[in-house]
Amino acid sequence: MLFAPHAIRWLHPAPFKLRPDMAILRKGPSMLLRLLSSMLVLHMTASLVFAVSGAKPYHLDRNLLPNGCASCHVGFDFSNGGGSYKCLSCHGPLNKRSKQMVMRNIQTKDVSKDFAKNYRHPVFDGKDIHSSREVLPETNSTTPRHAVCVDCHNPHYISGDNVYAGVRGKRIGNFNSTITKEYELCYLCHGDSANLPVRSTNKRIEFSTNNPSFHPVEGEGRNLAVISLLRPYRERKGADNDISIIKCADCHGSDDSNSANGPHGSKYQGILVDNYATGDGLPESSFNYALCYRCHKRSSILGNESFPFHSRHITGDLNFKGGGTSCYTCHSSHGSTENRYLIRFNRDYVTESSSGKRQFVEKGTYSFHGECWLTCHGVDHNPKSY
Q: Does 296 bind ligand HEC (CB under 6 A)?
A: yes
Q: What is the closest distance, in whole angstroms, from the C-beta atom of residue 278 to ligand HEC in the complex?
A: 6
* CA atoms 178, 130, 85, 14: torsion sign: negative
Q: Is 59 in the site for ligand HEC (CB under 6 A)?
A: yes
Closer of 49 and 186 to ligand HEC (Cβ):
186
Sign of CA dihedral 330, 377, 270, 138: negative
Residue in 212, 215, 217 with CA at minimum distance from that of residue 186: 217
Decide: is 153 part of the binding site for ligand HEC (CB under 6 A): yes
Which of 19, 334, 344, 381 forms a contact with ligand HEC (CB under 6 A)? Answer: 334
Hey, how many other C-beta atoms are within 10 angstroms of the C-beta on 10?
9
Query: In this chain, which stretch among 25-33, 189-197, 315-323, 351-359 interacts with ligand HEC, using CB under 6 A?
Result: 189-197
Report the residue number, 49 or 59, with the smaller CB distance to ligand HEC.
59
CB of 78 to ligand HEC, least distance (A): 5
Stretch that binds ligand HEC, among 21-29, 47-55, 184-192, 377-385 (CB under 6 A): 184-192
Nearer to ligand HEC, 49 or 296 (CB): 296
- How far, CA to CA in Å, does 7 sit from each of 13, 48, 99, 156, 245? 10, 11, 32, 11, 34
Plot region of 5 (φ>0 → left; ψ -120 to 50 → alpha; else → beta): alpha
Q: Is 9 in the site for ligand HEC (CB under 6 A)?
A: yes
- Under the binding rule (CB under 6 A), the answer on residue 5 touching ligand HEC is no
- 235 is a contact residue toward ligand HEC (CB under 6 A): yes
> Under rule CB under 6 A, which residues in 312-331 are in contact with ligand HEC?
313-314, 325, 327, 329-331
Q: Please, are residues 360 and 342 in contact by the beta-carbon 8 Å criterion? A: no
Phi-psi region of 11 (alpha: psi -120 to 50; beta: other; left: phi over 0): alpha
Instruction: Report the SS3 class of residue 310.
Output: helix
CB count in 10 Å sphere of residue 304:
15
Residue of 7, 19, 82, 353 interacting with ligand HEC (CB under 6 A)? 82
Looking only at residues 26 through 55 of this chain, which bind ligand HEC when binding is defined by CB under 6 A? 38-39, 42-43
Q: How far is the CB of 240 from ligand HEC (least distance, A)?
A: 16
